[in-house]
Amino acid sequence: MGSSKRNLWLAGTVLGLSGISLASAAAAQEAAALHANQAGYLPGGAKEATLVAASDAPLEWTLRDARGGTVASGQTEPFGPDAASGQSVHIIDFSAADATGEGFVLAAGGAQSEPFAIEDGIYGNLAADALAFFYHQRAGAPVEAALVGEEWARPAGHSPDITRCVRTDHRGNDWGGCPYELDVSKGWYDAGDHGKYVVNGGIAAWTLMNYAERADGGVADGEAALPEAGNGVPDLLDEARWEMDFLLSMQVPEGTSLRLPLGDQGGKETLTLTQVDASGMAHHKVGDSAWTGLPLPPQDAPDDRVVNYPSTAATLNLAATAAQCARVFDGVDDAYAGTCLEAARRAYDAARRVPDAFATEVLEGGSGAYGDTNVEDEFYWAAAELYAATGEAAYAEDMRSSRFFLAVPRPGVRDIAWPTVEALGTLSLLTAGALDEDERARAEEKLISVADAFLAEAEEQGYGVPFDRSYVWGSNGDMANRGMVLGYAYDLTGEMRYRNGVLGVTDYLLGRNPLGFSYIAGYGENALRQPHHRFWMGAVEEGLPLPPAGALAGGPNETGSGDEVTKALVAEGCAPMACYRDDYRAYALNEVAINWNAPLFWIAAFLSEDVQDRS
């Protein structure tokens, strides 16, 4: 809470106490709940929790160890009404506590937290599990019991995944078809369904490769439970390559002419289709011909797969990630780096040749739309990645002439997300050292300014999150992406307040929220069990597994869009942070997705790093 708000609240407390009875004063000391990070806290980091209580006055809190002994105590700081949670809350700051171990419990006002640990290693484990999510989501390969355990093992799904374009869409428009088949057997299943999408795969792969570029490989060979472990390649790059291979396989062969809708034709039944040279473009997605039901393990899914026609957005995602791939695999696998760079150049040239082929559905269902009719940000991102990979003047000119040059997230306007990717270009330019001295200084200043704005937002939130904005579909992924920006600010400055801001994000995801719920499976006493997922349905379907540790739910969604569970919850008037249910039917709240788990991995890996090495 900002100091001015805190002072006003405390002043109101002093003025109001004289007029209440002893009985009501006693009742005001009672708390409804105490919400903390259920996985635990780092010994040297910020440690905060939130008490739900109507009291205007500070309350006594204690921190007890597993034997019940008090190891720290103090007074809460009244915050008052918190709009995002719909609660009246207090802040408990126990950062000074120096005890370590497991089984700690916070207590205040008659409420107590779930038990948690205070120890090093918490985030190393979370990073490993968050990365393992991608192996679980692999298409075209078995998930091996020796690597994940019998419960989650399964045969390969969609192996092979051979797809063709449909000729006539559901409106009756004749697209002409594609004169080839595509083998797109690799990649990650995007979410709870079996679709694979270039634009969502792009940002997810970028996030993993970004951490690898920033941290010299990120996860050393042999550290992750992967089939490729021991091959001499950092494990993080092995996992990213599985998706990169899929993205490359979605590229249109040379010498191909296709009929595509140009310009924004959204909502039209009759499309205007134009014959274009589509060589080097990327198909937008591949998915089922119709929505499939739950449960449906990948190996049992039908093979009537359809690849959507190319889009400019998908093409630029390929250009950007393939250029990034060329950098991170340089010196690791030079042949693969060369393959990626060639694909990136072809894709960028194709996007410039066909700049307005926007994604248009050919079927009525079976996969998500992921439509985007503004690709200026994708053009900047791709040009920046290619410039960082090659240093060539043509890419530099395109990059610097873009209105998004040196763009960073804009709080309340544009966060990092699959349709708004301009900040990815700037982060890559900073990571790769591809800017001149003046440009770098400007980019750093802008990024730190955004991080400061995020921290200011956290001060005004009863649950300490840098998130003073609406809670929409995938809000937990948005939250994690903000954590990544704060991590960059720490890298640039070494100031602990930015790292503590990242801890605020993970505290929220791990249980310091108004529901007292850990959105990350396997972490905490009250954690995700019923994701919207066709295989991880063990909570409701005998013989299927629960979600594996490290899977992140989409989170609160106050928009009321999507499934009936979400619509009913919002209609009841839920507070933004409380618009959530752990319900497999609630895909707008409880689906998992690669673009949410990727920044979760990033921030968990960041928090597992040795602080002194980053100073």
Q: Using the 8-state DSSP alphabet, how is residue 253 labeled?
A: P
In CATH terms, the superfamily for domain 3-120 is Immunoglobulins (2.60.40.10)
pLDDT digit string, tens, across residues 442-477: 999 999 999 999 999 999 999 999 999 999 999 999
Any idea which residues carry the catalytic annotation? 193, 532, 582, 591
Contact between 269 and 171 (Cβ < 8 Å): yes
Neighbouring-strand partners of residue 50: 35, 91
Name the residue type at position 110: G
Torsion of CA 28, 32, 35, 38, to 10 degrees: 140
pLDDT digit string, tens, across residues 114-163: 999 999 999 999 999 999 999 999 999 999 999 999 999 999 999 999 99
* Bond prior to 295 in cis (omega within 30° of 0): yes
* Per-residue pLDDT band at 19 (split at 50, 70, 90): very low
CATH classification number, 157-399, choose in 1.10.340.30, 3.30.479.10, 1.20.1440.230, 1.50.10.10: 1.50.10.10
Percentage of the chain modeled with pLDDT above 90: 93
* Per-residue pLDDT band at 354 (split at 50, 70, 90): very high
Name the residue type at position 79: F
* Bond prior to 253 in cis (omega within 30° of 0): no
Name the residue type at position 515: L
| CA–CA gap between residue 285 and residue 289 (Å, rounded) | 12
Neighbouring-strand partners of residue 34: 51
pTM metric for this prediction: 0.95
Span(s) in the chain for CATH 2.60.40.10 = 3-120
Higher-confidence residue of 26 and 550: namely 550
CATH classification number, 121-137+436-615, choose in 3.40.50.620, 1.50.10.10, 1.10.3680.10, 3.40.50.2300: 1.50.10.10
Higher-confidence residue of 303 and 604: namely 604
pLDDT digit string, tens, across residues 499-511: 999 999 999 999 9
Contact between 318 and 393 (Cβ < 8 Å): no
Span(s) in the chain for CATH 1.50.10.10 = 121-137+436-615, 157-399
- The answer on pLDDT for 22 being more than 60 is no
Give the pLDDT score at 98.
95
pLDDT digit string, tens, across residues 79-104: 999 999 999 999 999 999 999 999 99
pLDDT digit string, tens, across residues 258-276: 999 999 998 899 999 999 9
CA-based nearest residue to 202, from 361, 333, 319, 298: 319
HEC sequence for 102-122: EEEEEEECCEECCCEEECCCH
Number of helices (H), then strands (E), belonging to the chain: the values are: 17, 19
Contact between 194 and 534 (Cβ < 8 Å): yes
pLDDT digit string, tens, across residues 376-387: 999 999 999 999
For CA atoms 304, 293, 529, 543, the dihedral sign is negative
Q: Using the 8-state DSSP alphabet, how is residue 231 labeled?
A: S
- The answer on pLDDT for 64 being more than 50 is yes
